Amino acid sequence: MVNVTTSDVLTEERIRRVIEEEREWPLVFNEIFRTINMPDDYPAKTMHIPKDEGAMSEPRRVTEGSEYPRTEEGEETIPVTVEKHGFEVSISWEATEFSVFDVIARQTEKAARRFNEYINRLAFNVVDDPENQHPLSPITTADVDEADEFGFALATYVKKILKDDQLMPDMMIVNTQAEHVLLNSDNFQRASDLGDDTTREGSIGRFVGLDVMVDQSGLMEEDDPEGYLVDTDEYGYEVVKEDISTDEYEAPERDADIWKWRTMRNWLAVHPEAAVKFEE
């Protein structure tokens, strides 16, 4: 896919557009997190995210003259500190001078893909940490009487585990081996034309009522099927102080223009129990 053409002027705006175009569906782990953007004038790198304790009072019949049951707000907060990440891309004087624009195009697109893959890996590192998963993770076929393979019985059991905790899973991420197994499963149904309009972008269809996303980044196991079931409304946040941005400066000693790419963000699993890993 060529995002930069010979008619383009290489500007920060154009590079940002390439970055967005390169956010292709295989880079899925970042989608588990809800985004919180720090205000531009936020005075610190650390933001304190409220942790809802969920201790609500129960409504009851109120007799004449008596007090209403009251829920006392006692929310704890969890600190998350944004961190700076970045790298540089060098575009030589020769490439610019002799209009070797296909070279510039390839460098720009590869840099955008590399940056987005890096962000996806950082998000994966949070989700893959056992401390940031449901305490029963990983659930295997050995844990489910009806399951003798990676498939419908295992996935529905994992879904039950989350729903028993009053969570509502809405996203399934699987590796390429699990995709192969599911696509050959009698229980897998490709989303209908109407369903395609409502499924999450990048989903290959629906399974046990959930959007199925395939991670092909190589971060997950390649030989054995595995996946994650997540309630993305409850799991956690991606706190962003500065989205991906670029700066340009000259490096005369190298006869090159340098494009610096950076971002400031971090990820926080507020409710780790909202993500369950399952495997064969």
DSSP 136-175: TPSEEGGG-TT-SSSSHHHHHHHHHHHHHTT----EEEE-
Position 23 scores a pLDDT of 57
Position 43 scores a pLDDT of 87
What pairing do the DSSP bridges indicate for beta strands 203-207 and 210-214? Answer: antiparallel
CA atoms within 13 A on the CB side of 131: 4
pLDDT in tens, the chain (280 residues): 445 554 455 555 666 666 666 655 557 899 999 999 998 888 889 998 877 655 556 788 888 888 887 766 556 788 999 999 998 877 776 666 665 556 666 777 778 888 888 999 999 999 999 999 999 999 998 988 887 788 888 989 999 999 999 999 999 999 999 988 888 877 665 544 444 455 566 666 677 778 888 888 889 988 899 999 999 999 999 999 998 877 878 888 777 778 788 899 999 999 999 999 999 8
Position 9 scores a pLDDT of 55
Position 192 scores a pLDDT of 44
Position 209 scores a pLDDT of 78
Which tokens hold the place of 15? 């590079």
C-alpha distances out from residue 50 to 73, 82, 126, 130, 234, Å? 11, 16, 19, 22, 12
pTM surpassing 0.85?
A: no
Q: Could you tell me which residues are beta bridge partners of residue 210?
A: 207
The domains of the chain, with CATH numbers, are 12-54+67-127+237-267 (3.30.2400.30), 135-234+273-279 (3.30.2320.40)
Residue 239 belongs to what H/E stretch? strand 236-251
- Using DSSP's 3-state secondary structure scheme, residue 246 falls into strand
Q: How many residues does the chain have?
A: 280
Position 2 scores a pLDDT of 44
